[in-house]
Amino acid sequence: MKSLFGNLVYCLFLFVSDVYGTYRLNGFDPLQVTAQSYAQRRNLARPPLRTLDPSVTDNSCRSRPLDLVFIIDSSRSVRPGEFEKVKIFLADMVDTLDVGPEATRVAVVNYASTVKIEFLLKAHLNKPNMKQAITRIEPLAAGTMTGLAIKSAMTKAFTEESGARPKSKNIAKVAIIVTDGRPQDQVEEVSAAARGSGIEIYAVGVDRADMTSLRLMASNPLEDHVFYVETYGVIEKLTSKFRETLCEVKVVVVEDPCKCEARLAFQMQTQAALQEITARLADMTGRVEQIENILGPV
């Protein structure tokens, strides 16, 4: 009986190991999510975000083709006049881009306690129509569900059905998040999943924005992807900075492309879980042996 139980424990151990090796959380590779989260937390204490250089005014460069999604906070803390400045910023950004079916496509995700996709990447493929659609955006007024907004952008806005180009076309996918508050939901895991799927994330904080959350959301290197402005009144200064950034050719999605450090972190987490399960199995084995000793040979 002892031999039979030992074999049972061993088989259970192999089953648990196989589960950990093949498990996929919510459709996302846990190794990629861990890769992104691990790299993000390692960078939280790095040098502060880049400051803006208002002297950059060059209009000569052409933006690389993008699938670009703006994710804008319209919670109660964003006053109506401030939200209008966000819309002006979006319109100014559109003016700096080469918009078109084969160039840059733009979508806008508006969020507070709920999420509203104002228009998809396939909706407006010229600047006049796009800017007119931006003028019609209204604030949603309550809550700051930033994580939900990022998830909606990833699963609904950045899809081929919504107008995103297929991976074979090698078009960069970029999200620009603008917020002045602290998320009321979790942003780390969903942001890691978004970055792991190939989305480059820029995080723009205004006034009371939580800088730790911005750093957890943004792509690496953080000094190139996290920005801060004191008020919505000066957010237009970001236009020149993004013009400079979006004219660059490089796209940085994962700081550790080989995932060496992330793989180690994931393996350590898995090993710890397996050790805990093994300890419980050993305890259960000991109890069964005690019962066998009491009952005697069967």
d(CA 239, CA 212): 23
- Strands 66-73 and 172-179, by their bridges, are parallel
Closest CA to 200 of 136, 266, 154: 154
* Residue 71 CB coordination number (10 Å): 26
Predicted model pTM: 0.68
Res 103: pLDDT: 94
Instruction: Please tell me whether residue 178 adopts helix, strand or coil conformation.
Output: strand
d(CA 212, CA 169): 34
Residues 6+ apart with CB under 8 A from 204: 176, 177, 178, 179, 214, 227, 228, 229, 235, 238
- Is the distance from CB of 150 to CB of 185 less than 8 angstroms? no
Closest CA to 29 of 257, 214, 194, 149: 194
- Which residues, in sequence order, are bridge partners of residue 211? none
H/E stretch holding 175? strand 172-179
- Is the distance from CB of 143 to CB of 75 less than 8 angstroms? yes
- Is the distance from CB of 219 to CB of 201 less than 8 angstroms? yes
Residues 6+ apart with CB under 8 A from 83: 74, 139, 232
Residues 6+ apart with CB under 8 A from 257: none
Closest CA to 27 of 188, 190, 187, 162: 190
Please state the φ and ψ torsions of residue 107, each to the nearest 5 degrees: -130, 160
Res 22: pLDDT: 38
pLDDT tens digits in sequence order for the chain, 298 residues long: 545 555 555 555 555 444 444 334 445 566 666 666 655 565 555 444 444 443 333 444 566 899 999 999 999 999 999 999 999 999 999 999 999 999 999 999 999 999 999 999 999 999 999 999 999 999 998 899 999 999 999 999 999 999 999 999 999 999 999 999 899 999 999 999 999 999 999 999 999 999 999 999 999 999 999 999 999 989 988 998 888 888 754 444 444 455 555 555 566 666 666 677 777 777 777 777 777 777 766 5
Closest CA to 249 of 200, 178, 197: 200
Interhelix angle 260-295/2-22, nearest 10 degrees: 160
d(CA 50, CA 186): 25
Write b or e for each residue in 233-247: b if 16 or more Cβ atoms lie within 10 A of its Cβ, otherwise e.
eebeebbbbbbebbe
DSSP code of residue 153: I
